[in-house]
Amino acid sequence: MKYHVFTRDNAGDDLIHAGMVTADSDRLARIYAHRTYDEEDWEFMGIVREDNLIEVNEQPIAGGETR
């Protein structure tokens, strides 16, 4: 599974997309993310499974025939 890694320098900052890791479990992905992207003293680091990302795009209008 692929995971996106997000970090921020200080509380209140926007999250930064630091990169990605591939792992067989959430538990393993936490460790990989820490080991791979811990070069700075992050205030926060989190991971999100790629499957859980919801694409934001245009959708057909309900009941209509065109977009």
Under the binding rule (CB under 8 A), the answer on residue 18 touching other proteins is no
> Please, what's the b/e burial string for 4-17 (b: 16 or more CB within 10 A of its CB; e: otherwise)?
bbbbbeeeeeeeee
Residues 27-46 that bind other proteins (CB under 8 A): 27-28, 30-32, 34-36
Q: Is 17 in the site for other proteins (CB under 8 A)?
A: no
Q: Which is nearer to other proteins, 22 or 63 (CB)?
A: 22
Judge residue 46's burial from the number of C-beta atoms within 10 Å of its C-beta, 0-12 exposed, 13-18 middle, 19 or more buried. Answer: middle
**Which positions touch other proteins (CB under 8 A)?**
21-25, 27-28, 30-32, 34-36
